[in-house]
Amino acid sequence: MKLFHNALVLSVFYFSSLIGYSQLAPVESNGEALARSSTSPSSVTSARAARQRVAVMVGMEQQLFPSYLLARATMKPQSNHYMLGDGDGNISVVFHNPGLNTSVRVEVAPTPFSEAAVYEGVLQEPDKDYEISPRIPWNFEKLRGLLQPTPVNFTVTTYIDNVKVSHRTVVATMRSVNDCPYYWEDDETGTGDLDLNYMYVAYINEDDPVVDEVLTQALQNDIVDGFDGYQTGDKKRVDDQVFSIWYALQKRGIKYSSISTNSSTGVSQNLYSQRIRTIDQTWNNRQANCVDGMVLMASVLRSIHIDPVLVLMADHCVLGYYRDAEHKDLACLETSMIGDVDLRKMMSIRRRKASRKLFAEARQRAQRHYRISKEHFDKDPRYRFIVVADVRKSGIRPIGR
C-alpha cells in the first residue's frame, strides 16, 4: 500500500474531516472576470458585475472520485450563512457578493454522470464571499461501473441580478471506482489538510452477495457449526469463526497480488489515493494485496457481528478484530499471507492443519507489526486505527457494485 512521504501533524481526530463537504473543492487559481451583459441592466447591476470574479471549483484538484461520491451520498452537507445550496461541494462557485440582497442563479449542465442542476437564492450580506453548491443528481449506477478514469466537462453558468456574469467549462477527471482517496495536503485554499483514511471503509461491503458465498464455503469446512459473533462469550470460538473464513479464502486459491498503482499516480503532489479491488473482484479474480484481503475479510466479519478494525501503517496495513463484545481484546491478522500456502497442491488430509499453522503465524506477524507501530498512531498521519463500526455510524456507506 503506497502512502504519502511527508509526516503531517493533525490536531484533530481523523473523523473531523467527515463533517465538511465543501472543503474538498479547491478554488481554481484563474478566476474568470464577469462578462458584461448584452442586455440593458441598470448601471448599478453592470457596475457590480464588472467588479466581480467567479471561481469554479470541481472536486479535489479537478479530480472526482466515484467512491467518495457513493460513500457519502446520503450524508447531509455542512451549511452556514455563507455556504448556500444543498450540494456535496464537489461542484461549486465562489464569488464576492457585490451588494445587499443580491439574487443569484447557478446552473450546472448535465454530464454523462449527472443530470442538470440549478440553485436560486438571495445573498443578503454585501461585501462577503459566498460559496454556492447546487445539488448534483449523480448517476450512481454509472459511477459504480466506472473502471478506468475519463475526462468530463463541467459547464457552470452564473447569473447575478438576472445578468449572466460567468460561463465556464472545467475539464475534470472522473476517476475509477477502484481509486480510493485517503489524504489531501491543502496548499491552496487554506482550509487545512484532509485526512480521508475513513474512505477505506467504503470498500467494506457486508451486504455483498459474495459474503454469503464465503460463509457457505466456510460452514462446509466443519470448523464451526454456525456464526454467532460474540454470543457465547468464548474468545476461542470467535477465533475459530475467523479461521473458518480464512480457510475458505485459502481453499478458494486467493493469491497475493500487489496492484496499487493507477494511471493518476504521481499526477498530484498533494492528493494521495490507493487502488482497491471491490470484494467481488477479489473473490472472483482470486487476487488480493494487503488492502484487498483486509476489506474482504472485514466485510465478512461485519456480517457475522465480529467487529473489524483497519490498522493502517506506513506502506502496509493489517486487519484487526475484537475477540470480545466489550472491545477490550484486539487480535491482528496479516491477510497478505493467505496465499503463502497453496492448499490445492496438498493432500486433503493435511490442508486444515497447514492452514491453521499459517493462520497462527499470520496473527503473530500482524500483532508484532501493530505492537512495534503502536506509538505512532497518535502522532504520525501515516498510521491510522479505524474502527469500522464507528465510521459506519458517521454515515459512510459501502460503494456497492
The pLDDT of residue 337: 94
Q: What is the pLDDT of residue 13?
A: 34
Amino acid of residue 392: R
Say yes or no to pLDDT of 203 above 90.
yes
Q: Give the model's pLDDT for residue 222.
A: 93
What residue type is 287 in one-letter code? Q
pLDDT > 90? residue 244: yes
pLDDT at residue 89, rounded to an integer:
86
Bridge partners (DSSP) listed for residue 59: none
**What whole-number distance in Å separates Cα of residue 123 and Cα of residue 141?**
35
Q: How far is CA 327 from CA 12, 90, 306, 309, 392, in A?
A: 23, 37, 10, 10, 17
Higher-pLDDT residue of 44 and 398 is 398
What is the share, in percent, of the chain residues with pLDDT greater than 90? 66
Cell of 399: 460503494
Answer yes or no: is pLDDT of 33 > 50. Answer: no
Report the alpha-carbon distance of residue 100 to residue 121 in Å, rounded: 13
How far is it, in rounded angstroms, from Cα 135 to Cα 137? Answer: 6
In this prediction, residue 24 carries a pLDDT of 37
Q: What is the mean pLDDT of residues 307-326?
A: 95
Q: What average pLDDT score do residues 167-180 get? A: 96
State how far the alpha carbon of 323 is from the alpha carbons of 151, 215, 309, 327, in Å. 46, 19, 11, 7
Q: Extract long-range pairs of 219-228: CB within 8 Å, 24+ residues apart.
A: 219/244, 221/247, 221/248, 221/251, 221/352, 223/247, 223/352, 227/304, 228/304, 228/305
Contact 66, 42 (CB under 8 A): no
Residue 229, classed as helix, strand or coil, is coil
pLDDT greater than 90 at residue 52:
no
Provide mean pLDDT across the span 196-211.
96
Please calculate the CA angle 307-330-372 and round it to the nearest 5 degrees. Answer: 130
Question: Over 70: is that where the pLDDT of 3 sits?
Answer: no
- Convert the pLDDT of each residue in 37-48 to its tens digit: 333 444 345 445
Average pLDDT of the residues in 383-387: 95
- In the chain, the N- to C-terminal Cα span, in Å, equals 23
pLDDT class of 396 with cuts at 50, 70, 90: very high
pLDDT, tens only, 80-119: 778 888 888 899 999 888 888 999 999 999 999 999 999 9
14 band by pLDDT with thresholds 50, 70 and 90: very low
pLDDT at 238 over 50: yes
How high is the pLDDT of residue 5?
36
Nearest Cα neighbor of 49 from 99, 94, 121, 108 is 99
pLDDT higher than 70, residue 209: yes
392 vs 341 pLDDT, higher one: 392
Cell numbers given for 23: 472543503
Instruction: Grade residue 371 by pLDDT with cuts at 50, 70 and 90.
Output: very high
Single pTM value for the model: 0.84
Residue 65, pLDDT score: 97
* Residue 195 and residue 377 in contact, taking contact as beta carbons nearer than 8 Å: no
User: Average model confidence (pLDDT) for the chain?
Assistant: 85
Give the DSSP per-residue string, 82-119.
Answer: TEESSS-SSEEEEEE--STTEEEEEEE--BTTB--EEE
Domain boundaries, the chain: 18-186, 198-394
